[in-house]
């Protein structure tokens, strides 16, 4: 049997996106939903946001990440991946909690889309008022 490597699992969430993250020690390979990182997040802004926790603790080249992401758009998914990576890194090494917390990676962004209200076209927008 091959050598056993320890796997650290965490869940990250942002808006309606949920990411299940598995990290292991390796060569810096990132796979999301079976696709390469560059292929899944071609947008430069989303790709940078997703790996920001790894950059903060300077482990981008030492950790392999495998992610399954569901729901939301590309921005929400990138935030969910970043949140999950930060939580998995905390399990990987408890000493990383302080720099991750200072950078704000361990805090879940609670903002969700506001629901549409009855009798109006959106959450906040109203139909045009006509006095006559």
Percentage of residues in the chain having pLDDT higher than 70: 97
d(CA 78, CA 55): 15
pLDDT tens by residue, 45-78: 999 999 999 999 999 999 999 999 999 999 999 9
pTM of the model: 0.89
pLDDT tens by residue, 110-124: 999 999 999 999 999
> What is the residue extent of each domain of the chain?
8-103
Please give the mean pLDDT across all residues of the chain: 93
CATH architecture of 8-103: 2-Layer Sandwich (3.30)
Confidence band for 1, pLDDT divided at 50, 70 and 90: very low
- Residue 79, Cβ neighbours under 10 Å: how many? 23
């Amino acid at each position: 049997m091959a050598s056993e490597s320890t796997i650290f699992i965490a869940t990250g969430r942002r808006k309606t996106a949920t990411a299940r993250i598995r990290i292991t020690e390796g060569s810096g390979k990132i796979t999301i939903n079976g696709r390469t990182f560059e292929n899944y997040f071609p947008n430069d802004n989303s790709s940078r946001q997703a790996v920001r926790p790894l950059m903060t603790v300077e482990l981008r080249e030492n950790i392999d990440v495998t992610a399954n992401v569901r729901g939301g758009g590309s921005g929400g998914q990138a935030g969910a991946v970043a949140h999950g990576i930060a939580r998995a890194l905390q399990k990987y090494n408890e000493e990383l909690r302080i720099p991750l917390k200072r950078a704000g990676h361990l805090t879940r962004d609670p903002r969700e889309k506001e629901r549409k209200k009855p009798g109006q076209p959106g959450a906040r927008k109203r139909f045009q008022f006509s006095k006559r």
